[in-house]
Amino acid sequence: MAQLILASSSAYRQQLLHKLKLNFISMSPEIDETALPGETASDLVQRLAEQKARAVALRYPHGLIIGSDQVCVNQGTILGKPGTLANAKAQLLAASGQRLTFYTGLAVFDAANDQMRTLVEPFSVVFRTLSEAQIARYLELEPALDCAGAFKCEGLGISLFERMDGRDPNSLVGLPLIALVELLGQCGIQIP
């Protein structure tokens, strides 16, 4: 089996990939993640997932490389990681009572054979109507400044939702494992 490399420095993605009991290493791809003019959220994450995998392939030309990228869309606007409490509060206020869709691009690149397998996994969450006090309490207890949408669904953030819609809740954390198992299977890696 070719060496498996996760083209990401995200601790969240690494934790998810560990669930599959695979040996892998992680490497930051160091790419420009700026959206192209007119690029849709779906096209953006697919392109970036592929670029991340190809960037890491330069260091591991015989590796099997997993690239992933995610954006959150609220009412047509792509949200980034908030970075500050003020931005997190603004994102959560805008999300109150809304359906947000997360698009996660996934790429598995067999560098030795120059074969790229990709897909985009959508996942939606419907937020409860939240008061400013609820948002402030949430951010005090779990300031998710490094997460698009300003919440952690694997933590207290689940309390912000009315419902979740999609095939794989791991997508919300940044790595759709159900789809990844399928793509790895196409590369000859059977899990379990």
CB-CB neighbours of 154 under 10 Å: 15
What pLDDT, on a 0 to 100 scale, did the predictor assign at position 100? 97
- Quick one: CA torsion of 110, 50, 54, 149, rounded to 10 degrees? -120
| DSSP codes, 23-46 | --EE-------PPPTT--HHHHHH
Q: What pLDDT is stored for residue 180 in this prediction?
A: 98
Provide mean pLDDT across the span 155-173.
95
- Residue range 102-151, pLDDT digits in tens: 999 999 999 999 999 999 999 999 999 999 999 999 999 999 999 989 99
Q: Does domain 4-186 have CATH number 3.40.630.10?
A: no
Token look-up 């953030």 returns 157
Instruction: Assign 92 to helix, strand or coil.
Output: helix
Q: Can you give the residue ranges of every domain in the chain?
A: 4-186
pTM greater than the 0.85 cutoff: yes
Mean pLDDT (the chain) is 96
Whether the pLDDT of residue 1 is over 80: the answer is no
Contact 25, 42 (CB under 8 A): no
Give me the catalytic one of 69, 146, 165, 168: 69
Query: Is position 43 annotated as part of the catalytic site?
Result: no
In percent, how much of the chain has pLDDT > 70? 100
Q: Between vectors from CA 118 to CA 112 and to CA 121, what angle results, nearest 5°?
A: 150
Mean pLDDT of 74-99: 95
Closest among 139, 174, 131, 137 to 154, alpha carbons compared: 174
Identify the band that residue 70 occupies on the pLDDT scale cut at 50, 70 and 90. very high
Rg (CA), the chain: 17
